[in-house]
Structure 1
Amino acid sequence: MKAEYFRNRVAQIFWNGDNSLQFKNLRYLPRWVVVAIDLLLVVISFYFSFLIVDNIASTFYNVLSIYQQATFIILVYVASFFTFSTYSGLIRHSTFVDIFKIVVACSSAMLVLIAVNYSYYFVYGEKVFLMPFLIVNMTISFIALLSFRLFVKRVYSFVSQNKRKSYNVLIVGVNDDSIALAEALSTSKNQNFNLVGFISFKKDHQRIKILGKPIIKYGSTFYDRIAPMKVTGLIIAGSQLSIKQKNELVDKALANDLKIFNVPDITQWTDKEDVTSKIKEIQIEDLLERDAIHLEDSQISNYLKNRNVLITGGAGSIGSEIVRQVSCYQPKCILILDQAESPLYDLELELKEKFPNISYQVVLADVRRKDRLEHLFRANDISVVFHAAAYKHVPMIEKNPREAVCVNILGTVNLADLSVAYGIDRFVMISTDKAVNPTNVMGASKRAAEIYVQSLQQKADGETKFITTRFGNVLGSNGSVIPYFKKQIESGGPVTVTHQDIIRYFMTIPEACQLVLQAGTMGKGGEIFVFDMGKPVKIMDLAERMIKLSGFKPYEDIDIKIIGLRPGEKLFEELLSNTSTAMPTHHQKIMIAKDDPLCYEDVLNHIIEIASAAQQENEVYVVSKIKQLVPEFISKNSVFELLDKNVNL
């Protein structure tokens, strides 16, 4: 216990202390420091060599004084260090190669000194250095230089041990991925994971070992059997488990205070990377009960290959993923439109690196400016439009309904009208489940946009196919609940949930965008495609599980607080309205919400009134006009509830 306390205390002082040392801020010793220390060691070695030899030899040669000999020998050693770059490696990661360099440098220095010694002897008949002295000096110098490097390496390992947590782990499964991972762990330089065995789900392999490690059957007595092994974590390799199996395993492991890690399929590993860098703590996104999506790539390729594609909101979380996925289908050019300058620039840099052979046109523009959009349509032969630009944060839009009108409604009107005017083949609009029986301004504005493009499809004489896609919350998107919870957990809590019974549908960003591309191939015009969102998730359960996955106990280490529903928020989202019917498609995860479109002229008159209201300062008047176009819009937990009671505000 005393040794452990001493180690932790030393680590605290030298690694995390409030003194000037703070070794964690030093990535490596500068080369000049290494050279200076080596020089000092050579000087010390000379001194001790002199003391030793002076006791066994009658006298040193007098050609050079002892100080001149010291200067000459030190210069030869330093020259040898520079010649063989003994200072170039990271001292804390010294290897056999570094030791070999020291051996060669010291041996070379001695050979040079011997050559000088005998050259002088053959010319002048006298020697400069005693041979026993040179041998003793080289030996002591080598030992000193080697000891210095071993000392630094040991100290670094000793101090950093407190910072780097090590896990005794079991690898889930006995297959190629699991065995490959075990082999990688046994040869890895990163010793964060100590393999103690494997988990089998099929049968007991008590007499069989892999790489010298036991195989333990997973069953009712599993956790009792592994208790003596002091297991602290499980690693799930590849995709060998179904989502249901993975969830069951994770829940029981968390209940037994074990960490859960994920590592991708062996096909995603590269020779350049340390495999342990691929081992990540399992995330809540990995535990969604969802099956893999299978795309019909040939159909998607047919309408994207060699075509100019416009993606609005292209720098956002959904838009940027659509850009990445469209890039895989060899379009002629992708026009990426967004008003967010910095994210747009970052995306451009990413695309140049990942897709160097694809032509991109980055457009800094606002969907509210029809003149700017028209110039874009006129200058480019656009075939497909993916419209993802929108304001989407419910509480923010509830406070700023005029902005929702200008962007979500009128921005869509601008793009839809131009698509008809310029003969665009397909217009795919990204909508939301909040547009169904909306209780907030954001959802109502998206529903108004849906109504407009549907009515335009009925009226339009051109060939433009207007297709609407509707899905729920997207994991990892800007402002979504999971990144928000993660920040709260990292800061020590509390995690805030608006209502204990609130539920939401979730899907991942890539998954949502895959279905958007697939729906774009299926539309004949005027449809609203609804995606299978899987099982709804109770947000309270989500918060508790995320806290457990982070290694904490809900309500003890991290508290959860109920803060009440936000303006416009409802307990559950719907994918179909009360008047809609769902029709299946040939893709099992995509359905068609059948709504009767409204007359274009009536819709246009409503849009004109809404746009006119948005030019005024009265927010309530704006919302009242939206409610006339979207009569199912019933406000919840909002100041606009009074409109539904016919109260004059």
Structure 2
Amino acid sequence: MRSDRLIGLPRWLKQTVVIAVDLVLGIAATWLAFSLRIDGMHVPHGNEWIPYWFGPLLALPIFIHFGLYRAIFRYTDLAAIKQILKAVAVYAAIYTAVVLAFYIPPNPRSIGILQPFILSAFIVGVRMFARFWLLASTIDPRLRVLRRRLLIVGTGDEAVQLANALKGSPEYLQIGFLTNDSQLIGRNMTGYRVFALDELRKIIENYEVSDLVIALGSGNQGMRRQIIEGCQGLPVHIQTAGLTLDSEHSSIRELDIDDLLGRHHIPPNVELLNLKNHQKVVLVTGAGGSIGSELCRQILATHPSRLVLFENNEFALYMLHHELQQKVSAFYSEVELSPVLGDVRDAHRLREVFKAVKPNTVYHAAAYKHVPLVELNPFEGIRNNFLGTRICAQVANEEGVDDFVLISTDKAVRPTNIMGASKRLAELALQALAAEPGTTTRFSMVRFGNVLGSSGSVVPLFRRQIAKLGPVTITDPEVTRFFMTIPEAAQLVIQAGAMAKGGDVFVLDMGEPIRIVDLAKRMITLAGYTVKEPGRDNGDIEIKVTGLRPGEKLYEELLIGNDPKPTEHPRIMKANEKSISKAELDQEVEALQNILRTRDVPELKNLLLRLVDGYQPEIEAFDALAEMRKPGISTPISK
């Protein structure tokens, strides 16, 4: 039987096969023990048959008890062998005791010692043989059972460490190294040939390379992208090498999100990072969220005197506090870390906290951000994103906070959904406060697009779908989005806030918008698969279009007005946006409070059309709670 067919058998059938093999091994061990004892070929007669059936029948329940039939042969390791030896030791003790206690002539007593010894060698030997046979066999690539043919890009220390770590690996068969160093091309390193980098495609095709690992370090982004682009159309899984936690050995991991985006990393301006945070009391609202938690990590590295984690989700706050507390203990012992449960809509709680800790800088990341969910719950979205921001900003101004930075979104620009409209209202609230005479707090807003790697990001979703061999789901082939990594976004938010004069709307340079379908295809290709084209049988993974969800747009923008101004940072621009006065906004807030009490959706929509420049709802707004009261009506989040 071929190894792939054997691996593909049902679990119960494979266990039955193993039990049958062990029974045969038990009989064979008994025969060999007899043959060695009489120094010749043994042919059993009469009572000599008793050890033949007694041994296997005794071994079976003992082996089951020790879990020998729950193990997977191709992953047999030292721990599994120890478990086998324990089981055989128990079996040997019982078998020997029975043979010696109940002597049945003409069976020699030495069988009680010889048979268990031989059986243990058989059991371990068969399992180790099966391990190497199964791992060495090449089967259907969709099952991803390896040995995979590996090529390492790079000849530096990281590449050599990786090659040494993988020597003798049952998972990878190493082909060699790739380099553009002419002095090394054609030579051998650690027993493997060094090939020329400009022959990349030819080597991948000729040697049937399945896995390419880039081991060039973080300072060679240009070459990394050149290699990734050079492998387009080839069925090769591209990964990267990185040092493990002990910093001594390299490991293989998936490509960084930066590699997927093709963005060039610009080192942060350390002076701007420290300006509003170093030796200051810093408070982050929504600290447990994707952006909030990364802001806390970046701020901690600037050595504030106190970092206040303000969050209304108990579990998210616990996890973040636990993570940061370990960093404080190891590296930032001078920083006081304060986890605070609270809601940004609760003015009393905010005043209580602000009076107690006296923050110098506030980063307001608390918001409902999931577009379809906010679309189904418009009143809660407005309460949290707009009124919560307004209350938090007013308390900050009353309590003498120096700087207040709002984390905004590109969806606030000509929004087609409630979430985007609520964030634009939040921006208007800060702009109005900043323009008031007597305002001492510097209010600023930082607007950017999607962040990759967060819990709601498409990248982890696509990776999970690719791991299951699809389908990879997208909402529409024409959808484009601006993308940025969470760490880069957090760094730029801090640097933008440091440049604020009051009422500033900063816009982060997100690069060129990326079609989601192109990102999906890129990830499928980099994973070593091919895209299954519509109407064709070829290809590994299908891309399935599900349709736009409530409130989603095809394209996102970053500016409402025109003529953005550059700043001292090349990735941060300053927008020139229209605003309204605090008096006008206060009047509209009174009307909004009535709308929230009556849950009048049409009136809410009219207010947003009045206040939010460019608001163009693409679907009829409705309240999910009201719809639930109607029999037979469901409110799906996605199609």
Q: 1:172 aligns with which of 141, 153, 167?
A: 153
In structure 2, relative to structure 1, the CA distance for the partners of 1:443 and 1:299 (3 Å cut) is same
Q: Distance in 1 between matches of 2:295 and 2:382?
A: 24
CA distance 1:143–1:342, change in 2 (3 Å)? same
Give CA deviations for 1:231-251 in whole Å, capped at 9, x if unaligned. 222110134675554344324
Instruction: State how far apart, in whole Å, the 2-side matches of 1:206 and 1:352 are.
Output: 49
1:212 aligns with 2:191: yes
The reply on whether 1:155 has 2:155 as its aligned counterpart is: no
> Structure 2: which amino acid aligns with 1:196?
I
Is 1:608 the counterpart of 2:590? The answer is: yes
The AA in structure 2 aligned to 1:230 is E
Deviation, structure 1 residue 619 = 1.2
Q: Which residue of 2 aligns with 1:351?
A: 324
Shift, 1:491, TM fit: 4.8
Q: State the 1:511 CA deviation.
A: 0.8
* AA aligned opposite 1:393: H
1:150-204, CA deviations, whole angstroms, 9 ceiling, x for partnerless residues?
4433334444556741221211133333233223333xx6432222112223548
User: How far apart are 1:379 and its partner, in Å?
Assistant: 2.2
Q: Calculate percent identity across the aligned residue pairs.
A: 34
User: What does residue 572 of structure 1 align with?
Assistant: 555
Of the two, which has the highest radius of gyration?
A: 1
Q: Which residue is 1:193 aligned to?
A: 172
Q: Offset at 1:487? A: 4.1
Partner residue, 2:98: none
Give the counterpart of 2:363 among 386, 393, 408: 386
Cα deviation digits, residues 555-610 of structure 1 (max 9, x gap)? 243333444443333322111113x4311111111111123543221222222322
Measured in 1, the distance between the counterparts of 2:188 and 2:326 equals 45
Residue 60 (structure 1) aligns with? none
Aligned 8 A contact 1:405 1:611 in 2? no
Q: Give deviations 1:254-274, integer Å, cap 9, x for gaps.
A: 41211111112xxx4444876
User: For residue 67 of structure 2, what is the aligned residue in structure 1?
Assistant: none
- Listed one character per residue, the Cα deviations across residues 308-343 of structure 1 (whole Å, up to 9, x for unaligned) are 322111111111111122222222332222222322
Match of 1:623 in 2: 605
- 1:510 equivalent in alignment to 2:487: yes
Q: Contact conserved, 1:317 with 1:478, CA < 8 A, in 2?
A: yes
**Alpha-carbon contact 1:198-1:216 (below 8 Å) kept:** yes
Q: Do the aligned partners of 2:473 and 2:544 also contact (CA within 8 Å) in 1?
A: yes
**Distance of 1:381 and 1:22 partners within structure 2:** 69
Equivalence map 1:435-584=2 (5 Å): 435-459=412-436, 461-550=438-527, 551-555=529-533, 556-578=539-561, 580-584=562-566
Partner of 1:326: 299
Query: Could you tell me which of 281, 290, 293 is aligned with 2:266?
Result: 293
8 Å CA contact 2:445–2:504 kept in 1: the answer is yes
Aligned counterpart for 1:257 among listed residues 231, 235, 239: 235
Shift in Å at residue 468 of structure 1? 0.9
Structure 1 counterpart of 2:337, from 340, 355, 360 = 360
Task: Determine the C-alpha separation between the residues in 2 that align with 1:528 and 1:167.
Answer: 51
Q: Which moved more, 1:349-358 or 1:288-297?
A: 349-358
1:471 aligned partner, one-letter code: F
Aligned residues: 551
Match of 1:280 among 239, 253, 260: 253
Deviations 1:400-432 (A, max 9, x none): 221121000000011101101111111111000
Query: Is 2:278 the counterpart of 1:305?
Result: yes
Q: CA deviation at 1:534?
A: 1.4
Q: CA deviation at 1:469?
A: 0.7
Change (3 A) 1:22 1:554: farther
TM-score, normalised via structure 1 length: 0.75
Q: Which moved more, 1:418-427 or 1:348-357?
A: 348-357
1:430 aligns with 2:430: no
In structure 2, what is the Cα distance between the partners aligned to 1:270 and 1:397? 40
CA distance in 2, matches of 1:136, 1:374: 85
**What does residue 290 of structure 2 align with?**
317
Distance change in 2, residues 1:354/1:51 (3 Å):
farther
Conservation of the 8 A alpha-carbon contact between 1:49 and 1:137:
no
- Per the alignment, do residues 491 and 137 of structure 1 end up closer, same or farther by CA in structure 2, a change over 3 Å counting? closer
Matches within 5 A, 1:391-410: 391-410=368-387
Q: Secondary structure at the match of 2:283?
A: strand
1:208-247 superposed matches below 5 A: 208-219=187-198, 222-239=200-217, 243=221, 245-247=223-225
CA contact (8 A) 1:259 1:281 kept: no
Mapped partners of 1:341, 1:464: distance in 2 = 29
Partner of 2:77: 93
Check 1:624–1:316 CA distance in 2 against 1; reply closer, same or farther (3 A cut). same
Distance in 2, Cα, partners of 1:23 & 1:434: 59
Tell me: CA distance 1:493–1:181, structure 2 relative to 1, closer, same or farther (3 Å). Answer: closer
Query: Aligned in 2, Cα 1:204/1:572: closer, same or farther, shift over 3 Å?
Result: farther
- Indicate if the aligned counterparts of 1:295 and 1:514 stay in contact, CA closer than 8 A: yes
Partners of 2:34 and 2:570 in 1: CA distance: 83
Counterpart amino acid of residue 559 in structure 1: E
Q: State the one-letter code of the partner of 2:493.
A: V
The alignment partner of 1:615 has SS state of helix
8 Å Cα contact 2:186-2:195 kept in structure 1: no
SS in 1 for 2:568: coil
3-state SS of paired residue (1:304): coil
Matches within 5 A, 1:408-423: 408-423=385-400
Q: Which residue of 2 aligns with 1:17?
A: 11
Shift in alpha-carbon separation, 1:541–1:459, aligned structure 2, 3 A: same
Q: Which runs of 4+ in 1 moved over 6 A?
A: 39-49, 133-144
Residue 206 of structure 1: how far off its partner (Å): 5.1
- SS of equivalent to 1:528: strand
Give runs of aligned pairs for residues 87-166 of structure 1, distance below 5 A: 92-94=76-78, 148-159=123-134, 164-166=145-147
TM-superposition CA deviations, 1:367-403 (whole Å, max 9, x none)? 2222222222222222221110111122222232211
In 2, the alpha carbon distance for the partners of 1:141 and 1:212 equals: 42
Closer, same or farther in 2 for the Cα pair 1:523/1:192, shift >3 Å?
A: same
Residue pair 1:172, 1:236 contacting (<8 A) in 2 also: yes
Aligned position for 2:580 = 598
Give 1:148 shift: 4.6
Distance 2:473 2:78 in 1: 49
Instruction: State how far apart, in whole Å, the 2-side matches of 1:576 and 1:282 are.
Output: 31
Distance 1:293 1:537 in 2: 20
> Aligned partner of 1:308: which letter?
V
Distance in 2 between the 1:494 and 1:46 partners? 57
Structure 2 CA distance for aligned equivalents of residues 280 and 224 of structure 1: 25
User: TM-score when scaled to structure 2?
Assistant: 0.76
- SS at 1:374's partner residue? helix
Contact 1:581–1:595 (CA<8 Å) still a contact in 2?
Answer: no
2:158 is aligned with what amino acid? D
Distance 1:8 1:487, change over 3 A: closer
Q: Give distance in 2, aligned partners of 1:270 and 1:343.
A: 25
Q: Which runs of 5+ in 1 are unaligned?
A: 25-38, 56-90, 106-132, 642-649
Shift of 1:528: 1.2
Query: What is the aligned partner in structure 2 of residue 110 from structure 1?
Result: none
